[in-house]
Structures are given as C-alpha cells and as structure tokens.
C-alpha cells in the first residue's frame, strides 16, 4: 500500500487516494484528539470507524450505491474504500443547464434517501459534495463518518434539513431542486411523517437564525 495524494483534511479525519493490492482506493484515517483521555479517544475513534463501515455495508445490502469497504485497520484508525471516479453532485449541478435532467436526477436522489431512511440509516452529513455521479451516471453516497443507525423520525428530518441548508448555501435559486428531492422521497406514510417533522425542524432553525 502506498499513499499517493491527500484529497481532504477534515475536522475528524484525513482522506487519501491510495493503492491497496494494486487497486485504487480511498483511505480515510481518523486522527487522535489530544484533549481526550487516550483510552476514551481510542474507544471513540474505533467506534466511529466501525459505525461508518457498518453503515456502508448496510447501504450495500439495501441496494444503495456506496463505496465498497476494502479493509478496516482498527490500529491505524483507517478505513479503506473503493475509489469512485466522477463529479460531485455539486459540480454536476453547477455545470448542468438542462432542467429536465436536473429534475430526473433530484428524483433519483429522493428515492435513494427514502430507501436509506426506510432502513433506519441516517447519513449525518448530507450535502451535494457527499454525492458523486459516477461514470455510469449512478448516484453514489459517500462520507458516512457521522452516520448512525436510528429509527428516529427526528434524526431523519434533521438529515433532510442538513441537505436543504446545503442546497440553499451552495446553489442559489435551487428551491425547485430540493422540492424535487422531497417529492420523490415522500412516497410512503413513514416518509410523510418525516416530512412533517422536517417542517418543525425548519421552524426551529428559523428561530435560531433570528435569535442568533
């Protein structure tokens, strides 16, 4: 295995493009937090590593396209995953001018999120940078570092709210895009319950914005 290139430096991990057994992969290495007790830090780091791998495997079982887990290194706090070639959804939206194609893709995103939440998988950091349109034009969800398995309607509504805020902050005049996501998402009674809770989450968010 050889580290080739640092792709991303986040608050919790460094992400590299690497090679494992001759295969191009993404290596996500979680780093220690000096302010935490070493034993607690190790426990939390391994817990997050295991949860991310668990969420990815569960998505695979549900037919959701995510990077395949190649290897877990609990001692190096590193998760090795399939490298996905393609544009982020953010890049795709910026470069696309066809509204019909946009609506079709947003509908696909909504269906994927519906399946994910129906199986109690909460992503935790849904943004248009954490979705990739691969070379087969499939939507691939990535970066499950904050994910959890939860049946909570609140957690699922917050998941959608995070994505909505990402659309608003990154893509001006994108209301129609997120509306298409929600229209495709809300195709079951359980999903409608989540959408009703989403309105509550929005209201709380607006109050926080007003009060600072």
Give Dmax (Cα) for the chain. Answer: 54
What distance in Å separates the CA atoms of residue 72 and residue 70, rounded to the nearest whole number?
7
What is the distance between the alpha carbons of residues 49 and 173, in angstroms, rounded to a whole number?
A: 37
Pairing of strands 121-122, 148-149: antiparallel
| Nearest-angstrom CA–CA distance, 175 and 202 | 14
Exactly one of 21, 125, 143, 155 is catalytic; which is it? 125
Q: Which residue has the tokens 């893709």?
A: 105
In angstroms, the Cα distances linking 122 to 20, 127, 134, 151 are 29, 13, 22, 9
Catalytic residue status for 125: yes
Helix axes 99-118 and 153-170, enclosed angle (nearest 10):
160
Name every residue whose Cβ is closer than 8 Å to that of residue 9 and which is 6 or more positions away in sequence. Answer: 15
Residues tagged active-site: 125
């Amino acid at each position: 295995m050889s580290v080739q290139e640092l792709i991303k430096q986040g608050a919790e991990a460094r992400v590299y493009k690497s090679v494992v057994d001759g295969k191009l992969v993404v290596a996500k290495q979680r780093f220690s937090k000096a302010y935490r007790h070493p034993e607690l830090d190790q426990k939390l780091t391994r817990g997050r590593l295991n949860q991310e791998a668990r969420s990815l495997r569960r998505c695979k079982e549900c037919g959701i396209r995510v990077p395949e887990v190649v290897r877990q290194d609990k001692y190096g706090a590193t998760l090795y995953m399939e490298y996905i070639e393609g544009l982020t959804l953010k890049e795709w939206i910026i470069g696309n001018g066809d509204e019909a194609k946009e609506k079709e893709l947003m509908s696909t995103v909504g269906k994927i999120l519906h399946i994910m939440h129906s199986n109690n998988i909460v992503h935790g950091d849904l943004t248009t940078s954490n979705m990739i349109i691969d070379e087969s034009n499939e939507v691939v969800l990535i970066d499950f570092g904050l994910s959890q398995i939860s049946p909570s309607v609140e957690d699922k509504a917050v998941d959608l709210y995070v994505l909505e805020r990402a659309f608003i902050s990154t893509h001006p005049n994108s209301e129609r895009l997120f509306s298409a996501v929600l229209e495709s998402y809300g195709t079951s009674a359980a999903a409608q319950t989540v959408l009703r809770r989403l309105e509550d989450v929005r209201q709380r968010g607006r109050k926080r914005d007003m009060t600072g």
